[in-house]
């Protein structure tokens, strides 16, 4: 054998050994606290002690997977998750994604078997599914993962990566820099970046009135008076980029109006300005102050009688460095000194990660994985215990109110949707309780008839 052949043989063996070591490492990694096995497992052949949990509204893209979750220090729970409806009869729990919940595609009901536990996951805007804003529908679920602090798996802080982001200086511009941007680049004190112009809070009407009294740079398709730099003009790709955040951080104030006023419904509209150091002018969740690093970290629109009064306060801060910087106290303190115990507690107890923390650490779990594991755990517990029921405070949304007039928008599309949701929720509950099956057309026909009947009674 030539020296070259020996050398080549050695290299091949070395390569194979390296591949083997890598394979073993991956195997060990896959057998950690959250294990995934073949999607070809036949649920019928599984141990009877391993419950089947069905995504009734397919969401994860997994046809079938066995997952073992570490629950505490000394307990593991295994469940088989699937989106195959043919396995419904063997299902112990059903998972629903809120935006995909169709009232005319309800699971079949049978007097011969106990109804499986129902679990709701919905991290999006409540306006996407009006019927879920009403207790008649919510009470059908046993567990929830929503924006509410009262949820079994609260998602209130889904848009906040960490306390360190809130306190960090990565995007923070000094007072002097912001003043310079106003002078040299002609920036307004206030920025408004929005392309969703039709909201249940009547956002544009308020901002339009505010513009009469204070200069606002408005980007996006709503009340636009300026164009974003071309490199960050596409909101789908740019919204979460460092370049976009640095651009917004040049402004002293950012208008942050939510799409709805549900309790604890707080999105990146609030967290992004707080992270980059641009004071939020906030309207949305009535409970948002419970989550702030400090009570004075934002300007609350509800504290002012009118846009004119709010503008006067903004203009005063725009010329007062000391008072302005008081609103950025969270950038001057370490996170452990934040005043919100709820914020500190929720982030400390959170078992899932978002953003870079999720993608850069294989060991961290997504909110979906934690939700699945929670349901798996409760299914095992509920084999012995009684059932829980989701209450209204898991998804509490009042009728839509105008930020400008502070009155209910009775004649708006959004109020009509909210009101119709009441009838839809009542009908869904009836269908589940009776086992009756209807088509989509039949469902909305019944809802329409009941709404017409109600109007006639009021006349």
- Reported as a single tens digit per residue, the pLDDT across 117-169 is 999 999 888 777 899 999 999 999 999 999 999 999 999 999 999 999 999 99
What integer pLDDT is reported at residue 17 of this predicted model?
Answer: 43
- 2 lies in some domain: no
Q: Which residue in this structure is represented by tokens 């026909």? A: 445
Same domain, 50 and 115: yes
What is the pLDDT averaged over residues 53-64? 92
CA distances in angstroms from 259 to 124, 128, 219, 271, listed in the order given: 11, 11, 17, 15
- 27 lies in some domain: no
Q: Which structure tokens are listed for 350?
A: 């959170």
What integer pLDDT is reported at residue 383 of this predicted model?
Answer: 61
Same domain, 143 and 193: no
Contact 122, 146 (CB under 8 A): yes
- 205 lies in some domain: yes
**Radius of gyration for the alpha carbons in the chain, expressed in angstroms and rounded:** 26
Same domain, 258 and 141: no
Distance, in Å, from the CA atom of 330 to the CA atom of 291, rounded to the nearest integer, reads 13
Number of domains in the chain: 2
Residue 3 has pLDDT above 60, yes or no: no
Check residues 48 and 66 and name the one with the higher pLDDT. 66
Same domain, 295 and 343: yes
Asked which of 324, 349, 374 is the last residue of a domain, the reply is 349
What integer pLDDT is reported at residue 45 of this predicted model?
Answer: 55
Residue 382 has pLDDT above 90, yes or no: no
- 355 lies in some domain: no
- 372 lies in some domain: no
pTM: 0.85
Neighbours of 431 (CB within 10 A): 19
53 backbone dihedrals φ, ψ, rounded to 5°: -120, 125
pLDDT single digits (tens) 9-35: 333 334 334 433 443 333 333 333 344
Check residues 238 and 185 and name the one with the higher pLDDT. 185
CATH of the domain at 273: 3.40.50.11660
Same domain, 192 and 298: yes
Quick one: pLDDT band at residue 37, thresholds 50, 70, 90?
A: very low
What integer pLDDT is reported at residue 12 of this predicted model?
Answer: 37
Same domain, 178 and 205: yes
Q: Which residue in this structure is represented by tokens 């109006």? A: 257
- 363 lies in some domain: no
Same domain, 326 and 178: yes
What integer pLDDT is reported at residue 191 of this predicted model?
Answer: 98
Same domain, 451 and 306: no
- 29 lies in some domain: no
- 189 lies in some domain: yes
The domain in which residue 71 lies consists of 36-157+384-458
Same domain, 254 and 199: yes
Same domain, 213 and 305: yes
Same domain, 135 and 180: no
Distance, in Å, from the CA atom of 93 to the CA atom of 361, rounded to the nearest integer, reads 30
What integer pLDDT is reported at residue 1 of this predicted model?
Answer: 43
What integer pLDDT is reported at residue 145 of this predicted model?
Answer: 96
pLDDT single digits (tens) 244-259: 999 999 999 999 999 8
H/E/C letters for each residue in the chain?
CCHHHHHHHHHHHHHHHHHHHHHHHHHHHHCCCCEECCCCCCHHHCCCCCCEEEECCCCCCCCEEEEEEECCCCCEEEEEEECCHHHHHHEEEEEEEHHHCCCCCCCCCCCCCCCCEEEEECCCCHHHCHHHHCHHHHCCCCEEECCCCCCCCCCCCCCCCCHHHHHCCCCCCCHHHHHHHHHHCCCCCEEEECCCCCCCCCHHHHHHHHCCCCCEEEECCCCCCCCCCHHHCCHHHHCCCHHHHHHHCCCCEEEEECCCCCCCCCCHHHHHHHHHCCEEEEECCCCHHHHCCCCCCCEEHHHCCCHHHHHHHHHHHHCCHHHHHHCCHHHCCCHHHCCCHHHHHHHHHCCCCCCHHHHCCCCCCCHHHHHHHHHHHHHHHHCCCCCCCCCHHHCCCCCCECCCCCCECCCCHHHHHHHHHHHHHHHHHHHHHHCCCCCHHHHHHHHHHHHHHHHHHHC
Contact 62, 83 (CB under 8 A): yes
Same domain, 208 and 131: no
Q: Which structure tokens are listed for 227?
A: 């164009």
């Amino acid at each position: 054998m030539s020296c070259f052949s020996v050398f080549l043989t050695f290299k091949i063996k070395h390569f194979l050994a390296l591949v083997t070591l890598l394979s073993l490492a991956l195997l060990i990694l896959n057998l950690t606290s959250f294990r995934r096995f073949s999607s070809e497992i036949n649920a019928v052949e599984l141990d009877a002690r391993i419950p089947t949990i069905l995504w009734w509204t397919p969401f994860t893209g997994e046809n079938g997977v066995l997952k073992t979750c570490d629950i505490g220090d000394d307990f593991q729970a295994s469940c088989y998750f699937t989106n195959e409806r043919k396995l419904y009869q063997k299902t112990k729990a059903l998972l629903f994604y809120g935006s995909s919940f169709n009232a005319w595609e309800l699971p079949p009901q049978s007097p011969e078997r106990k109804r499986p536990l129902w679990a709701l996951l919905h991290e999006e805007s409540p306006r996407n599914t009006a019927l879920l804003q009403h207790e008649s529908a919510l009470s059908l679920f046993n567990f929830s993962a929503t924006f509410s602090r009262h949820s079994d798996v609260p998602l209130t802080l889904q848009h906040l990566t960490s306390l360190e982001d809130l306190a960090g200086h990565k995007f923070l511009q000094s007072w002097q820099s912001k003043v310079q941007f106003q002078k040299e680049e002609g920036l307004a004190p206030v920025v408004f970046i929005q392309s969703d112009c039709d909201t249940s809070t009547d956002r544009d009407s308020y901002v339009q009135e505010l513009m009469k009294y204070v200069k606002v740079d408005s980007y996006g398709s709503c009340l636009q008076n300026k164009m974003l730099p071309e490199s960050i003009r596409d909101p789908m790709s740019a919204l979460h980029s460092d370049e976009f955040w640095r651009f917004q951080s040049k402004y002293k104030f950012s208008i942050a109006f939510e799409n709805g006023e549900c309790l604890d419904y707080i999105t990146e509209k609030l967290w992004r300005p707080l992270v980059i150091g641009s004071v939020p002018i906030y309207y949305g969740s009535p409970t948002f102050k419970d989550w702030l690093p400090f009570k004075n970290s934002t300007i609350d629109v509800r504290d002012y009688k009118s846009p004119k009064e709010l503008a006067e306060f903004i203009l005063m801060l725009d010329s007062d460095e000391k008072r302005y910087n008081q609103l950025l106290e969270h950038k001057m303190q370490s996170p452990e000194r934040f005043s919100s115990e709820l914020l500190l507690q929720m982030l400390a107890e959170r078992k899932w990660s978002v953003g870079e923390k999720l993608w850069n650490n294989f060991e961290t779990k997504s909110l979906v994985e934690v939700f699945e594991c929670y349901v798996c755990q409760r299914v095992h517990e509920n084999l012995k215990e009684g059932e829980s029921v989701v209450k209204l405070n898991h998804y509490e949304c009042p009728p839509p109110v105008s930020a400008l007039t502070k009155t209910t928008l009775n004649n708006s599309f959004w109020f009509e949707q909210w009101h119709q949701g009441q009838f839809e929720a009542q009908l869904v509950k009836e269908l589940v309780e009776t086992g009756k099956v209807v088509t989509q057309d039949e469902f909305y026909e019944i809802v329409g008839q009941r709404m017409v009947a109600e109007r006639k009674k009021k006349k």
